[in-house]
Each structure stands twice: as C-alpha cells, then as structure tokens.
Amino acid sequence: MGIAERALIAEIRKRTGSRSAAVRVGIGDDCAVLSVAADEEILVTTDMCLEGIHFLGEWQTAYSVGQWCVTRGLSDIAAMGGRPVAVFLSLACPEGTEPVWIRDFVDAVRSVAESYGANLCGGDTAASVSSIAADIVVLGAVPRGQAVLRRGAKIGDALFVTGKLGTSQAELAMLKAGECEERRFMPKPQIEAGQKLRSIATAMIDISDGLSTDLAQICEESGVSAILDADAIPVAKGAQLADALHGGDEYQLLFTARAEGKVLTRVAGVPVSRIGAIRRKSKHAVYLIEDGRSRVLEVAGWQHRF
C-alpha cells in the first residue's frame, strides 16, 4: 500500500457517515465485521466497472459513474427482495488520476449507498497500469428462505415489469451519434419495490443486461419459455420498442407471479405493467407477439462495451 493509497483510505474513512447498527467494524481492519438478524440470510453481489468498457470519462462525471456503479449492486439486492447492509469498493486508478475525480466517485458510492441504508465498509485501493477499474460489492440481508430467485417461474405465471424501459439505450444512441454530450439518465435501484414483491413474485431479476437477455435468464434457470406482448411493453418517452426490449442499465424489476392473483398496477409507488406470460420450455427462450403474430425474440442484450 503506497502513500497515495493510505491518503485515499483516510479520506474515505473520514467521509463515511454514521454507521448503522449492522456494522460493528467498518474501514480500517483486516476485515469489516457485520451482523444481520438471527432470522436473516446474507445476500452478496459483485460488479466490475471498467473505464473504456463500462463507462467513458468524457461522457460522464465521476459522480455519475460512482452512482451507476453502486446502483448496479443495489439493484441486485432489490432483485432478491433484500435490504442493503454494506458496500465495499475496490478501486484501481492509474497514476495521474485527478484526486477530485476519485473523491467525487467515492462520494457518490458512499452517499447513494447510505441513502438506501448501507454503509461503505471497506475495500481495497491499488495503482493500475492504464485505466480505472472499480469493483463494487454490495452485501444485503433478507428474511431466511424468502429471497426471490430466478428459478421460480412456473408455467402459466404472468410476467411483469416495474417502471418504463428504453431511456438508457436511447440516450446511449444519442451520445454515440453526437446528439447529446453527457449521460443524464440516472437509474435508481428498486429496493422498496423489491421488498414488497417478496410475497408476490415467483421469480425476479433486475434489468441490467436488457429485457430480452434478463428474461432469457429467468427462462433458463426456471426451465420455461416466455411470451411477450409488444403492445404491453412500457416504452419510455423518446425511446423505441427495440430500446425497451434490448437496452440494458434500466434497473427496473422483471418478475413473474401467479396469473390469477389480484390485478397489480403499482408497487411501492412504481407503476407495474403486465407484459406477458410464462409457457412450457420451448426451442427458444423468448417469443414476441406483435401485430397479432408470434415470432422468436432474439436475445440481443447489452454488451457493456462502448
């Protein structure tokens, strides 16, 4: 650990807000020490965020990159129906990285995490050879046996999604075409909706790679196929159906539930759309009904590469 790294750790430590009761030891020991309730299980998710692959410095402020990185992890906790507890940040920066960039990035990770009840509890810092690499770990908790898995979708279940889709992909296309200069879309993790859906959802995933890709994951894990109704997909203003079907980085929740349940139109203040149904396993994972005809929907999700 070099002097610059020590200074960074000291800085992160100083800026960390008051610790929640779950955090017995935060930054500054060999490990963080955490505690969850006796009737809870632990959720863990990790996400790598690489400059030049997942983000481009010229399109995004350090704060928005940090916000995005931690949202990816928090959204995974939401997709299990859990509550966030702690965040760990491993950050490698090349020599010459502006200290203000690092400070803004860490501030975003810390403050977004804290707004959902999770403390920044540690991590690692290192000098990198050429570009910024961040790995963010989010640890959460969920009542024992109640995590909503991808594998629970049943034939005949209805398929739902929270919010509207396509904004992230539409904005990315504009950035690539030079029609706008900065990432403005700042998705939020659906933590509260995820927890409320624990009692309803049979399977759940967050839309990080794109609706078609993430739905295919549910189908694969559950041993089923799915049919989507093009007219029912909640396409965001300014976006096209294709953006909503294949664009990643939405962080809305895609879930299945019993079709005979009560009509679900809103959860935790977020609109919910019924967009399709689960069918028995078939040659392809996902089908789309458009203009009255069913066709195979190619799984063409987000590659996280600019």
- How many residues interact with a second copy (rule CB under 8 A)? 70
CA distance 117 to 36: 13
In the window 22-61, what residues touch a second copy (CB under 8 A)? 24-25, 28-36, 38, 41-48, 50-54
CA distance 206 to 188: 11
| Residue number, 7 or 126, with CB nearest to a second copy | 126
From 71-79, 154-162, 257-265, 276-284, span contacting a second copy (CB under 8 A)? 71-79
In the window 115-144, what residues touch a second copy (CB under 8 A)? 121-131, 133, 135, 137, 139-140, 142, 144
Q: Largest alpha-carbon pair distance within the chain? A: 65
Both tokens assigned to 305: 């590469």
| Residue number, 13 or 184, with CB nearest to a second copy | 13
Question: Whose CA is closest to 194, among 241, 160, 235, 158?
Answer: 160
Angle of helix 3-15 relative to helix 99-115, nearest 10 degrees, comes to 30
- If 0-12 CB within 10 Å is exposed, 13-18 middle and 19+ buried, where does residue 229 land? middle
DSSP state of 169: H
Among 11, 221, 229, 290, the residue binding a second copy under the rule CB under 8 A is 221
From 104-112, 146-154, 224-232, 258-266, span contacting a second copy (CB under 8 A)? 146-154
In the window 149-178, what residues touch a second copy (CB under 8 A)? 149-151
CA distance 205 to 248: 13
Backbone φ and ψ of 36, nearest 5°: -115, 170
From 80-88, 181-189, 234-242, 264-272, span contacting a second copy (CB under 8 A)? 80-88
The alpha carbons of the chain give a radius of gyration, in whole angstroms, of 20
Q: How far is the CB of 162 from a second copy (least distance, A)?
A: 15
From 57-65, 184-192, 202-210, 288-296, span contacting a second copy (CB under 8 A)? 202-210
| Residue number, 91 or 170, with CB nearest to a second copy | 91
Backbone φ and ψ of 20, nearest 5°: -75, 165
Question: Whose CA is closest to 250, among 302, 205, 207?
Answer: 207
User: Which residues does residue 227 pair with via DSSP β-bridges, in sequence order?
Assistant: 277, 287
| Residue number, 130 or 177, with CB nearest to a second copy | 130
Both tokens assigned to 204: 């759940």
Using CA atoms, how far residue 14 sits from 7, 106, 138, 144, in Å, is 11, 12, 20, 34
Among 2, 223, 238, 261, the residue binding a second copy under the rule CB under 8 A is 2
From 101-109, 185-193, 205-213, 237-245, span contacting a second copy (CB under 8 A)? 205-213
Among 27, 62, 70, 86, the residue binding a second copy under the rule CB under 8 A is 86
| Residue number, 88 or 105, with CB nearest to a second copy | 88
From 167-175, 183-191, 235-243, 296-304, span contacting a second copy (CB under 8 A)? 296-304
Type of residue at 258: R
| Residue number, 17 or 52, with CB nearest to a second copy | 52
The length of the chain, given as a count of residues: 306
Name the residues that contact a second copy, by CB under 8 A. 1-2, 24-25, 28-36, 38, 41-48, 50-54, 76-77, 79-80, 82, 86, 88, 90-92, 121-131, 133, 135, 137, 139-140, 142, 144, 147, 149-151, 204-206, 209, 213, 221, 301-305
